Amino acid sequence: MAPRDEVIALERIRVTPSNWETQLRRYRPRDSVLFHFFREGVLRECRVTLDEPAVKAVRLTMKRRITHSVAARRCAWLYDTRKERRLLKRELRKATAE
């Protein structure tokens, strides 16, 4: 598996962004799972042995005062839709003005 691979199924069962976690929870660490995915438009498959989760939980905090370049990178990283980006930009303007 590589960055930008588009996973479409696990063990021939379709996965979507909305059911990905549910499908993955069906398996345990050390289970061997067949992944079906597209890489650069070519359908591929590979068997993956699942490992223990590396991290149980992560807590991220955001600085109140940031530069516009940091705000732009944060926006690109966290938000996909234009509506979400507009909301974030509004919040960031408030944060950088303080």
Q: Which residue has the higher pLDDT, 78 or 23?
A: 23
Global pTM value: 0.52
From the list 4, 19, 11, the residue with the least C-alpha distance to 50 is 11
Identity of the amino acid at 71: A
Place of tokens 């021939």: 12
Q: Which residue has the higher pLDDT, 12 or 77?
A: 12
pLDDT digits (tens, 9 = 90+) for 61-81: 877 788 888 877 777 777 666
